Chain A
Amino acid sequence: MSNREMAETRSAGESPLLAVEGLHTWFELRQWGFLRVGSVRAVDGVDFALERGEAVAFVGESGCGKSSLARTLLGLHRPTRGEVRFGGRSLGALKGRELKAYRAEVGYVQQDPYGALPPFLDVGRILAEPLIIHGVKARAERERRIRAALEEVRLSPAEEYLSKFPHMLSGGQQQRVVIARALILAPSLVIADEPVSMLDASVRVEILELLWRIQQERELTLAFITHDLSTVRHYAERIFVMYAGRVVESASVDDLLDHPQHPYTQALLAALADPDAANATRLREVPAGEPPSLLHPPAACRFHPRCPHFMAGLCDRDDPPDFEPRHGHRSACWLHR
């Protein structure tokens, strides 16, 4: 079944696992600790829903708000406005024990594996930590689950790794430990924030394959955040492209990569090369300027100051709504009106 068919058969079924509506995460800036001087609008009006067992990718450049979005979904930032609903319940309403239960339901794979692992704990202890916190009291049960987790991320035999400290492992192995930790409480949703950007090219594919295989086997919902569109094709079903705190385009992977609709996505794709000796003789088309400050983002369409199709009086006046220029393919651009 193609990615698209998979996505379609699924959306016909039950309610989404995760629903995000009108989500805003702003960070207040203060001068001398008390004077309000404005807000960094890291996430500024994002809506989407993830079905159970779906793998999606959020793609965007640094400062587009993708990590703030991830951290809001994890419950690490409180939304300024809007709502995150997980299995039908609002995240903002969760407290105490419920919030703790939510955290067991959501796994987090960090960007920098070395930074994400405590340097003074060995692998066995690192993996035991979430189990202890979430009340797995029997030592034998913990050990069984730790071993299973290590085998699942292909760190076997497990004995060899249990007593190792993070610095004794290669980057790829460290990232496997991070993934094992994210999975050990059997979450239904895993959020992976740039899981391979710190790794070498040959290791990258291994880790992406691993995540993909685990996602398929466990029927996990996987939200995979990346700046690199070229790593997305085989490892996600849908892509959301973010720019300046908003989702500007979303579609199934193949449709988005083969028929990009939004001028920003088109610019991103045009800037990316596949290895080819002919690249050296061609200049690439790059839109002028840089991503806007999230403190004072441009009015209306955030991309209008850089857009080659800018229409004065429209793009700088009114926010473009989501249009659907192709079946199941959304793009927030006035060109599609």
Chain B
Amino acid sequence: MSETLLRVEELALHYRTRQGTVRAVDGISFDIRRNEALVVLGESGCGKSSLAKALMRVLPRNVAHQGGRVRLGEVEVSALPDERFRREVQWSRLALVMQASMNALNPVVRVGEQVAEPLRVLHGWSRKRALDRAVEVLELVGVSTDFLARYPFELSGGMRQRVVLAMALVAEPELVILDEPTSALDVLTQASIMNALKRIKRELDTSFILITHDVATSSELADRVALMYAGQLVEVADAARFFGEPAHPYSQMLMASVPRLRQRTRPEPIPGQPPSLFDPPGGCRFAERCPYRFARCAQDPPAFRLGERHRARCWLHAENEGNPGGGR
């Protein structure tokens, strides 16, 4: 359980655009253990999907800068050339379910064949063998064998999302990245997909990175939470700590802004807007919206260690521990 599966250090991904360089991922460090689920939480435009793309190396053409180290198990995957990465890591050890990918299924290929395809391509399995395995995985995610011969358009959104999930799991990757897997779905469908993920996590040894903007959904799977703001991680903590007693002012304000079904406390909006990623302000990126802002916030805060696996990027915690943890 305590074995580290993925270690990410100072990951960076900048894009080149006509208006300038967008620093979408700007120095991110975290690690994930085997069978652990890390939720990357953040508002739109904070760079969370770019983080997924950087890890999986599915990059657009306008990448201006890509940096940092990624270690998966014993392999320094960030050092692998593209071709080897594709053959040895992509999909077989590390799979990605992209946002809205349930709408990107091939419309003219039957569901069973699509789920079996990665095995035929990656391992050269026969059609029969790959299909047999596809059936097992589809059952695991809650799709009955009746659906095997159907086409994607014959399936509801929830079922298509399960099929995409099965495609990601079929080659038994050690880590699956899920980018907003339920955000386009209805409440009840969302809940049943999250149930399926919980069951899979229990039955397999897989680790997950779940990327979402929805705090309530994030708590459905998280062992750990990493909160992202303007291209950086502002806090990484165990779920109990994060949902109970978050340390960073942004985490606290985000939690207070969530409308709750079963409590009568009125949600509090966070005034202001996130900074532009074209030219992020020097110093703490949240300072402009932060009620605790003081002189030191003009300097970039390092990630202070608050506990064994708890870090927060805020000067308020400089005294608590005083020894900056990994990363800047």
Contacts and interface: CB of A to CB of B under 8 A. Distances in A.
A280 B222 contact: yes
B261 A272 contact: yes
B243 interface: yes
A273 B220 contact: yes
Contact of A277 (B43, B189, B191, B239): B239
Interface string A261-283: 00000011101111111011101
Contacts of A284: 191-192, 194-195, 220
Given A201-B214, A205-B259, A276 B188 contact: no
B266 A234 contact: yes
Contact of A202 (B186, B240, B266, B270): B270
Contacts of B199: 283
B267 A234 contact: yes
B215 interface: yes
B216 A286 contact: no
Contacts of A203: 269
- B222, B240, B267 — which one has the most chain A CB atoms within 10 A of its CB? B267
Interface in A28-61: 61
Given A230-B259, A267-B188, A205 B243 contact: no
Contact of B261 (A274, A277, A286): A274
Nearest to A206: B269
B303 interface: no
B207 interface: no
Contacts of B188: 61, 267-268, 271, 286-287
Interface in B240-279: 240, 242-244, 253-255, 257-264, 266-270, 273
B259 to A, nearest CB: 5
A283 B44 contact: no
Contact of B263 (A62, A227, A274): A274
A170 interface: yes
A141 interface: no
Given A227-B187, A271-B188, A286-B191, A200 B216 contact: no
A231 B191 contact: no
Nearest to B244: A277
B169 to A, nearest CB: 19
Contacts of A269: 261
B115 interface: no
A103 interface: no
Contacts of B262: 257, 274
A290 interface: yes
Given A230-B216, A274-B260, A277-B219, 18 more contacts: A62-B186, A200-B43, A202-B269, A209-B269, A231-B259, A233-B259, A268-B187, A271-B187, A271-B191, A275-B243, A280-B219, A280-B223, A283-B198, A283-B199, A284-B192, A286-B188, A287-B188, A290-B189
Interface of A: 61-62, 170-172, 200-206, 208-209, 227-231, 233-234, 257, 267-269, 271-277, 279-281, 283-284, 286-287, 290-291
